[in-house]
């Protein structure tokens, strides 16, 4: 299993692909075209996508991923408030 870390925002998202030494990052538009371009770089049997739950910015990606990738995880954000 190869984990792909995704940092998502309103307009774009950055995917971190593991390489021999560290990670290679690539930025994609957070729209259907950008998500399809990202998905074209994945292998459905080896990649597991992990992303932080950042409001509703990740919903389109989560919606389109199941057609191509069977493994995905949305990490809930823990909010720590200090007085």
The Cα 57–Cα 12 span in angstroms is 9
Band the pLDDT of 44: cuts 50, 70, 90.
confident
The first and second tokens of residue 42, run together, are: 């994945």
CA nearest to 5, candidates 38, 44, 36? 38
Instruction: Output the pLDDT for position 65.
Output: 80
Alpha carbons 80 and 63: distance in angstroms, whole number: 29
User: What is the domain partition of the chain in residue ranges?
Assistant: 2-75
Q: What's the pLDDT at 63? A: 82
SS3 state of residue 53: coil
Entry pTM: 0.78
Cα separation, 23 vs 4, in Å, equals: 9
Q: What rounded mean pLDDT belongs to the chain?
A: 81
pLDDT tens, position by position, 49-65: 888 777 788 888 888 88
Cβ(10)–Cβ(30) below 8 Å:
yes
Whole-number percent of the chain with pLDDT over 70: 78
- 1 compared with 13, residue with greater pLDDT: 13
Superfamily grouping for domain 2-75 = ATPase, nucleotide binding domain (3.30.420.40)
């Amino acid at each position: 299993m190869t984990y792909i870390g995704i940092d998502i925002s309103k307009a774009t998202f950055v995917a971190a692909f593991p390489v021999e030494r560290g990670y290679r990052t690539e930025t994609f538009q957070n729209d259907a075209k950008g998500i399809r371009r990202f998905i074209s770089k994945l292998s459905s049997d080896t990649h597991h996508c992990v992303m932080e739950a950042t409001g509703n910015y990740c919903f389109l990606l989560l919606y389109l991923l199941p057609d191509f990738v069977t493994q995905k995880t949305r990490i809930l954000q823990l909010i720590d408030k200090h007085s």
